[in-house]
Amino acid sequence: NPLWTEILAAILFLIICWLIRDSLNVKDLNGKHVFITGCDSGFGNLLAKQLDQRGFHVIAACLIEKGSRELLACTSLSLKTVILNLTDSSSIANAVEFVKQETDGEGLFGLVNNAGRATPMAPTDWMQIDDFHTILDVNLMGLIEITLKLLPVMGRLAFLGGGYCLSKWGVEAFSYILRRDMQHFGVKVSIIEPGCFKTGVTSSEVIERDLLRLWNQLTPEVRESYGDKYFVECKLCDSDISKVTKCMEHALIAKYPRTRYGSGWDAKFFWLPLSYAPTLLSDMMLRMLLPTPAASRKSLSRVPLDV
């Protein structure tokens, strides 16, 4: 069938194009500075050695002196180490100052947020709130703090959401864990994923007031990079919030509640499908919908890699 032949040929062509695109590398990487956290062992340790061999100027953050000494002993003289405890703001500040001195005038090419911990790990109802803090203070809050403090020597990432979207991703992960742990005891957990509804959270007055507060705290350099027009007003909110509460009600009273509920037409037919779309497509759509900083095309982006 000629039609199927054409379809298969098109798919093959796209695969070849993707493979070629995926194989392309940035040129002139020799001597670029890369900061990696969690280099005492594991992923960070191996990555630091690999990048050092490729000619990068690696700044490796280790938790203890022993890890730092062992890494320095098996790498080139261009690799530098710094002690970093992500639960200690003063330690983070010292590491950031060290990075600024090492990259003086050149900037940081890449940040690899590798440091983290997985324990304590147990069924959810075994855990105390302090157990969650033990992990989140390193994996999330420490990561956020050092990333924010290193942004001045890196390219900027702009996306609406801030702590709210971040917290909701955490809520989603927590809900999944809770659902799997509690299913043995007959407890059912559902996630409600509403679109944009007119509530106190999405009030344009509240959003604009808070944006203005944050805008006034920015340095002149950051304001200039975003431009005066970088203000957004939510205009497509649904006033019928019962669409959300009906989902909540169903999750409570149904014998077989759904794992996920999409509330609102925008959630069902745009946001949820977009979340399952290839990253290339979802990024393209969001770039079309969301505002763009004035300086977004003026410098090479250097994207933090979170592990």
Catalytic residues: 164
Q: How far apart are the first and last CA of the chain?
A: 46
Paired tokens of 106: 């050149």
Q: At 191, is the secondary structure helix, strand, or coil?
A: strand
Paired tokens of 255: 């014998």
Q: For residues 188-210, b (16+ Cβ closer than 10 Å) or e, as one string?
A: ebbbbbbbbbeeeeeeeeebeee
Task: Using CB atoms within 10 Å of the CB of residue 187, give its burial: 0 to 12 exposed, 13 to 18 middle, 19+ buried.
Answer: exposed
CA dist 277 to 157, 175, 256, 291, Å? 21, 22, 27, 21
Do the Cβ atoms of 31 and 105 come closer than 8 Å? Answer: no
Q: H or E stretch including 62?
A: strand 57-62
- Rounded CA separation 294/233 (Å): 18
- Rounded CA separation 110/302 (Å): 6
